[in-house]
Amino acid sequence: MLSRLIGENVEIVTDLGDELWSVSADPGQIDQIIMNLSVNARDALEEGGILTIQTQNVFLGEDYLAHHPGVATGEYVLLSVTDTGCGMDAETLTHIFEPFYTTKVHGRGTGLGLATVYGIVKQSGGDIWVYSEPGLGTCMKVYFPRLAEEAALADAAPPHAAEHGNESILLVEDEGSLRQLIAHLLEVGGYMVVAVATAEEALTLIQDPASRFDVLLTDIVLPRGNGWDLAARVAEFKPQMRTLLMSGYSEAAVLKRRPFEANLNFIQKPFNGDALRSKIRAILDYPRSMPAR
């Protein structure tokens, strides 16, 4: 049904997680969420592109709450719908869930689609988060709480604690509050972090002969640049330095835009401290000749 609705010029890609937890939700409303988000994505893909639907189990911790007040910590099932369309600016993002607000031309939409999705998600006790950049597409992330009865019956084994380290990490993230949070998540694990906001600042540090960094952790979307190009420049000066790209878009959507090179790895936002530190540790401990996916 989605294929007929979306049109032949849009490629639909699915990346569905294994052994998803159960959630308490009306199947018809889930269908409605997927349809509404897909239609919005289609309208942003007037010249064609890729629509990616992803599901996975996730844990939302205190670090997520720092930017999303009112959301309970715990286990959730994530449903994300990502498009490679025109994207939205920061001003538009502040209004998208308001009833009757629409950026579409007259007659193309009522502005009720996302407001309806928001209402359904909130009624389920979940949360919705939107990541978008003008010209780079949009990722709508819907979090449904894991069914309490199922969680209570699951094994109560404590989560594996991420191994700590003492290596040096160069963090590049243009959003100030997020930059501070990510630096903190790494520092509590023992890592030494130098955090900057732009690719230019990162390159200045890298070109210093006295600099000693083990990992470049960079957002893909940066002011006047991107994480891919920054990683390529860093490799010219520090070929042994590993790179970890991060983005609010899913890995499947990112791969469709630009395949990873041999020394690049990826982590999707939002992530908790354990997930980030585990990823960093895996990259550092993996043989230098191989990427740590």
Each residue of 105-143: pLDDT tens digit? 444 444 457 888 988 898 888 999 898 888 888 999 999
- Which CATH number belongs to the domain containing residue 9 in this structure? 3.30.565.10
Task: Clarify whether residues 195 and 142 are in a common domain.
Answer: no
Each residue of 140-176: pLDDT tens digit? 999 999 998 776 665 554 555 556 889 999 999 998 8
- The pLDDT score that the predictor gives to residue 103 is 60
Q: Name residues whose C-beta falls within 8 Å of residue 121's C-beta, 6 or more positions apart in sequence.
A: 33, 127, 128, 142, 143, 144
Could you check whether the bond before residue 270 is cis, i.e. omega within 30 degrees of 0? yes
Residue 160 lies in a domain: no
- The pLDDT score that the predictor gives to residue 127 is 92
In whole angstroms, give the CA distance from residue 197 to residue 276.
19
Amino acid at 141: K
- Could you tell me the residue range of the domain that residue 41 belongs to? 2-153
Question: 286 falls in which pLDDT band (50, 70, 90)?
Answer: confident
- The pLDDT score that the predictor gives to residue 110 is 45
Instruction: Name the domain boundary from 118, 153, 188.
Output: 153
Task: Clarify whether residues 180 and 133 are in a common domain.
Answer: no
Q: Could you tell me the pTM of the whole model?
A: 0.67
- Which CATH number belongs to the domain containing residue 186 in this structure? 3.40.50.2300
Check if the beta carbon of residue 76 is closer than 8 Å to that of residue 59: yes
pLDDT averaged over every residue in the chain: 84
Judge whether residue 251 has pLDDT over 90.
no
Task: Clarify whether residues 133 and 8 are in a common domain.
Answer: yes
Residue 66 lies in a domain: yes
In whole angstroms, give the CA distance from residue 286 to residue 282.
6
Instruction: Name the domain boundary from 120, 153, 186.
Output: 153
Torsion, Cα 275 277 279 280, to 10 degrees, reads 160
Residue 292 lies in a domain: no
Task: Clarify whether residues 128 and 222 are in a common domain.
Answer: no
Residue 80 lies in a domain: yes
If we measure between CA atoms, which residue out of 282, 170, 293 comes closest to residue 227? 170
Number of domains into which the chain is organized: 2
Task: Clarify whether residues 6 and 147 are in a common domain.
Answer: yes
Each residue of 12-24: pLDDT tens digit? 999 999 899 999 8
